[in-house]
Amino acid sequence: MERRELLKMIAILTGGAVVGADVFLAGCTSKTADASVFSADNIALLDEVGETIIPTTDSPGAKAAKIGEFMKTMVTDCYNDDQQKAFAAGVAGLNEACNKATGNSFMDASAGQRKTFLTALEKEAKDYNKQRDEKEKAAKDEATKKMDPNFVSAPSHYYTMMKQLTLFGFFTSEVGCKKALRWDDKLPVPGHYDGALPYKKGDKAWGV
- Residue 99: alpha-carbon gap to chain centroid: 23
- 102 near 109, Cβ under 8 Å? yes
| Predicted local confidence at residue 196, as pLDDT | 53
With a pLDDT cut of 70, the percent of the chain lying above it is 68
| 91-117 residue pLDDT tens | 999 999 999 999 999 999 999 999 999
Q: Give the whole-angstrom CA distance, residue 169 versus residue 2.
A: 13
Peptide linkage before 190 cis (omega within 30 of 0): yes
Query: ∠ CA(5), CA(17), CA(148), 5° rounding?
Result: 110
| 30-42 residue pLDDT tens | 556 666 789 999 9
Q: Give the whole-angstrom CA distance, residue 106 versus residue 185.
A: 39
CB count in 10 Å sphere of residue 124: 13
Q: Which residue has the higher pLDDT, 36 or 133?
A: 133
| 60-100 residue pLDDT tens | 999 999 999 999 999 998 889 999 999 999 999 999 999 99
Coil/strand/helix, residue 93 = helix
In the predicted structure, residue 153 carries a pLDDT above the cut 80? yes
Q: Give the whole-angstrom CA distance, residue 70 versus residue 173.
A: 9
Rg over alpha carbons for the chain, rounded to the nearest Å, is 18
| Predicted local confidence at residue 203, as pLDDT | 45
DSSP 60: -
**Residue 88 φ/ψ, nearest 5 degrees:** -60, -40
Closest Cα to residue 86, out of 13, 146, 28, 165? 165
